Amino acid sequence: MNQLLIFLDGKIIKANRSLIENLSPGVVTGQGVFETMRSYRGQVFALDRHLIRLYRGLKVCEIKISYSKKELSKFIDQVLASNRLKEARVRLSVWHDQDKQHVAIVCQNLSLQKRNIYRQGFLVKTYSKKINPEKLINIKSIRYDPFLKAGLEAKQKGCDESVLIDSKGRVIEGARTNIFFVKDNVLYTPALSVKCLNGITRRLVIECAKKLMIPIKEVGVQLADLYSADEVFLTNSILEIMPASVLEGHRINQGIVGPLTKRLQKTYQQLVKKSLSK
């Protein structure tokens, strides 16, 4: 599809690839926040959670939005319906540029990851630059440049994702994911104190782990912890739970998706299914 219908500043308009790219986080100028969500069969999963985080981020940025959560939800539904999209990537952005407020909703057909990638797992590298956590606010800021650069570096090296490390050698998160690992049947993830994003899927995975009675610890994580882990997986709203099979050439669990990761994948998918059936 050469053109999509998007919501921009109160109107649904036709947009070409160039306009959509110019509205992307890290490209658009100003200050603001965004949320990336996933639509299943035309319904956005965990929309309430995303909108709550969006408004929290706007408060941090001292931006007042003209629309209510209910109105934004309606606009998202309109854009999905206008493009006849069912399985879709949904991005909602709100920002200020030269004292003017902007709201954009872009919904694009989701090219689902081939099933074999969930069996093979992602190839992961560490980002070559250390990240100053003080510059990373625990919101989805449109000032996304460090993450774009980390993701691009991974792609250039033939990998799927980059791990961001701070000046103290602590693992923060991935360029577009949160990170979990398993050691001796205990699930670990970087603590929020290292300034990682408290991702929506991150929180849902923690809830799933508690439901399954899997011990979960939010701690300071070193790169060595990932190397010695029994299992490693990555999370975000689009990927859900993606196994990591190789880190810097080191094969994790002999490249086999671990049993705990599989249990969490199944429980998460059941959660999605139950939410959509309401």
The 10s digit of each residue's pLDDT in 151-208 is 999 999 999 999 999 999 999 999 999 999 999 999 999 999 999 999 999 999 999 9
Provide the whole-model pTM.
Answer: 0.95
Per-residue confidence band for 137, with pLDDT thresholds at 50, 70 and 90:
low
Q: Going by C-beta distance under 8 Å and a sequence separation of 6 or more, which residues neighbour residue 259?
A: none
Task: Domain ranges for the chain, please list them.
Answer: 4-109, 115-276
Average pLDDT of the residues in 101-124: 89
What is the CATH code of the structural domain delimited by 115-276? 3.20.10.10
Q: Going by C-beta distance under 8 Å and a sequence separation of 6 or more, which residues neighbour residue 133?
A: 166, 172, 194, 195
Sign of the C-alpha dihedral computed for residues 166, 155, 39 and 4 taken in this order: positive
DSSP 8-state assignment for residue 257: P
Show the tokens assigned to 240.
Answer: 């859900």
The 10s digit of each residue's pLDDT in 11-65 is 999 999 999 999 999 999 999 999 999 999 999 999 999 999 999 999 999 999 9
Task: Please give the share of the chain, as a percent, with pLDDT higher than 90.
Answer: 88
Q: Residue 134 half-sphere exposure, CB side, CA atoms within 13 Å?
A: 2
Q: How many other C-beta atoms are found inside a 10 Å radius of the C-beta of residue 140? A: 22
**What are the angstrom distances between the C-alpha of 214 and each of 9, 128, 207, 245, 275?**
45, 33, 10, 21, 22
Show the tokens assigned to 153.
Answer: 């570096």
DSSP 8-state assignment for residue 233: E
CATH architecture of 4-109: 2-Layer Sandwich (3.30)
User: E strands within 57-175?
Assistant: 88-97, 100-109, 122-126, 161-165, 171-174
Q: Is the model's pLDDT at 111 over the cut of 90?
A: no
55 pairs with which residues across the strands?
Answer: none
- pLDDT in the model for residue 116: 82
Q: Which amino acid is at 50?
A: H
Pairing of strands 171-174, 161-165: antiparallel
- Give which of 187, 263, 259 is closest to 218, Cα–Cα: 187
Per the prediction, the chain carries an average pLDDT of 94
The 10s digit of each residue's pLDDT in 203-240 is 999 999 999 999 999 999 999 999 999 999 999 999 99
